[in-house]
Structure 1
Amino acid sequence: MKHAYLILAHHEFELLGYLLEALDDPRNTVFIHFDKKVAVLPVLRTSFANVIILEERVDVRWGDVSIVAAELLLFQTAQNHGKYSHYHLLSGVDMPLQTQDVIHSFCAKHANKQFIGYSQGDQKAHIERKVQRYHLFPKHFRTSGNMGDKLRKILRFICLRLQIILDIKRNLDIEFKKGTQWLSLTDEFVAFLLAQKDDILKRYNYTFCADEIFVQTACWNSRFREQIYDMTHEGNGSQRFIQWRDNQLIDWEVKDFDTLQRSDLLFARKFTSRHNDLPAAILRKLKEADL
């Protein structure tokens, strides 16, 4: 079966080139959503994989439901295009750690599994803050420092404090779960997710970082819960190797090459052009393994 790779991209297009080269396989179709704010799109070429750049583009804002909208647009475009056994959601600064033969074989072996990472430990406070309160001005979570942004930040803070004081909560009719937004899903589950698209966008409007919650929650509250690959480990569950330190996402550096090579996980994030020798080295290793 063919695989669909769904990529959210907005910068670091040299790294996107490495990623695309690593995915260049006739069994793959690559769908790329460029943030609407990108004025000039990069020239991208493949020899074997079909690449589809979405004409409809979302103005993606960090923390806002627009990220969810962009993801759903990618899933919808891919499913409209054809039937795929798995849909892999990646950012433009990710890289596969395994060859396409290994990835396809692994997914075929676990054909009915959903590779969704679930955060461990008590997430109640995170859930309550992010999706059970109303967040004003969600397109402006990241501020530029101008007077308008400062005013919006103050109003948002006041609104949140009032909700806490008055014990105002929303979305109490569902059990939420959270984890990494980067995941790999089956065709059946993607169809299930898209059938709820309007409800998802409505529920998660005026929330914070819903991209870490909406898929985990939809799967958990459905019959697909039994198909979760690993509920006990976020990285293994999602098949993503991601570095965190003090709740901050850490870039991979050249010194991490051996660590990445020893990993059995399918993908890693995130890479940076400041250390672009690293994705280049990973790409060389993948090509050598294919010989």
Structure 2
Amino acid sequence: MNIAYCIICHRNTPILRTSIQLLSPKNTVYLHVDLKSNLEEFKEYHDKVIFIKQRIDVRWARFSQIECTLALLNEIENTSYHYMCLLSGDDLPLQSNAAIKAFFHKHNGTEFLGIQPDFDSKALISRVQYLHSEFDSKRNKTFWEHCFWGFKRNFLGHKKKPLFSKLPPLHKGPQWFCLSHDACTYILRYLKENPWYMEAFRFSHCSDEVFFHTLLMNSSFKDRLYKHNELSDDNAKALRYIDWRSGPDYPKVLTENDLTTIPDSNFLFARKFSEHTNLKVYYEWLKSRS
């Protein structure tokens, strides 16, 4: 069982270092380092990972997040793998290499893409239907920027995108997933044959949670989704433990103190971990699960 681990990162942290150390043996790890970051800071991984040459300036909630994922898919297109797992630099595995491989071997042919069962369809359509500027997606707006943004939204409105009407019904879920070689190949082939689909998502807001989900949910791969009608937690469907409930950050920034709260189930990865996590405690915890 060959697994291609595709990691999106912008900082070199102890969390990223730990994930690469644990996952790189007997797997191929592909690393996308944000274009804004200094590549020299990641040179310690030169003999452990494959660096993606097509580096994207990734911006929160922007189409660049989709472009980054597609750069990774294009990188592995002609390689030999059974599953591609998309991870962030803040993720840690919750199972050993052997256990992860055994899980995918057991569920070979299944797609691990989280689909949220209930969502505000009007708000979701708004993400994609209208042209959203870089300013719209800016985090931590000042008071006056919020005032201007509110005026623009309420009185000037957003311009509609003409290609939106061509899109099938929208679906959403977490950005992170594990997909089979067949599903990844299908995505790339579909986009080559239907370039309008990508254009329909440009200048959207948080469309990384919609782009791949809509594509696969409107294909035969819908029938291969892991526990699609059984689990209500869309992150669990993608094999991720992510705490969106506890706070104070959303999602919660995890530390070694959160390890004992993670259910002993089929979660294979967790995010996102603080770079100050006591990794000695983490290694002991991971060993106890083997």
Which TM-score bucket, shorter chain as reference? 0.7 to 0.9
Task: After TM superposition, give the deviation of residue 167 of structure 1 in Å.
Answer: 8.8
Whether contact under 8 Å (2:137, 2:205) holds in the other structure is no
For 1:115, the aligned partner's letter is: F
Equivalent residue number for residue 206 of structure 1: 203
Equivalent residue number for residue 196 of structure 1: 190
Task: After TM superposition, give the deviation of residue 248 of structure 1 in Å.
Answer: 2.2
Task: After TM superposition, give the deviation of residue 12 of structure 1 in Å.
Answer: 4.8
Moved more, 200-209 or 213-222: 200-209
Query: Cα gap change, 1:79/1:188 in structure 2, threshold over 3 Å: closer, same or farther?
Result: same
Query: Cα gap change, 1:59/1:156 in structure 2, threshold over 3 Å: closer, same or farther?
Result: farther
Moved more, 261-270 or 175-184: 261-270
Query: Cα gap change, 1:219/1:157 in structure 2, threshold over 3 Å: closer, same or farther?
Result: farther
| 3-state SS in 2 of match to 1:68 | helix
Whether contact under 8 Å (2:81, 2:181) holds in the other structure is yes
Gaps of 5+ in 2: none
Moved more, 230-239 or 14-23: 230-239
Task: After TM superposition, give the deviation of residue 145 of structure 1 in Å.
Answer: 5.0
Gaps of 5+ in 1: none
Equivalent residue number for residue 20 of structure 1: 20
RMSD: 2.9
Task: After TM superposition, give the deviation of residue 139 of structure 1 in Å.
Answer: 8.5
The one-character-per-residue Cα deviations of 1:255-283 (angstroms, maximum 9, x if unpaired) are 21212373431111100113x20x44333
**Equivalent residue runs for 1:5-84 within 5 Å:** 5-26=5-26, 28-39=27-38, 40-45=40-45, 50-80=48-78, 82-84=79-81
Whether contact under 8 Å (2:91, 2:271) holds in the other structure is yes
Q: 2:114 aligns with which of 112, 117, 141?
A: 117
For 1:243, the aligned partner's letter is: D
The one-character-per-residue Cα deviations of 1:38-70 (angstroms, maximum 9, x if unpaired) are 0243233498xx510112200000000000000
Query: Cα gap change, 1:122/1:177 in structure 2, threshold over 3 Å: closer, same or farther?
Result: same
Equivalent residue number for residue 183 of structure 1: 177
| 3-state SS in 2 of match to 1:271 | coil
Q: TM-score scaled to structure 1, two decimals?
A: 0.85
Whether contact under 8 Å (1:229, 1:237) holds in the other structure is yes
Whether contact under 8 Å (1:131, 1:210) holds in the other structure is yes
Whether contact under 8 Å (2:125, 2:170) holds in the other structure is no
Q: 2:138 aligns with which of 141, 144, 148?
A: 141
Query: Cα gap change, 1:29/1:121 in structure 2, threshold over 3 Å: closer, same or farther?
Result: same
| 3-state SS in 1 of match to 2:62 | coil
Q: 2:164 aligns with which of 171, 176, 190?
A: 171
| 3-state SS in 2 of match to 1:196 | helix
Looking at structure 1, the residues matched to 150 and 129 of structure 2 have their Cα atoms a distance apart, in angstroms, of: 15
Q: TM-score scaled to structure 2, two decimals?
A: 0.85
Looking at structure 2, the residues matched to 3 and 145 of structure 1 have their Cα atoms a distance apart, in angstroms, of: 44
Task: After TM superposition, give the deviation of residue 138 of structure 1 in Å.
Answer: 6.2
Whether contact under 8 Å (2:8, 2:87) holds in the other structure is yes
Looking at structure 1, the residues matched to 148 and 162 of structure 2 have their Cα atoms a distance apart, in angstroms, of: 20
For 2:6, the aligned partner's letter is: L
Task: After TM superposition, give the deviation of residue 22 of structure 1 in Å.
Answer: 1.6
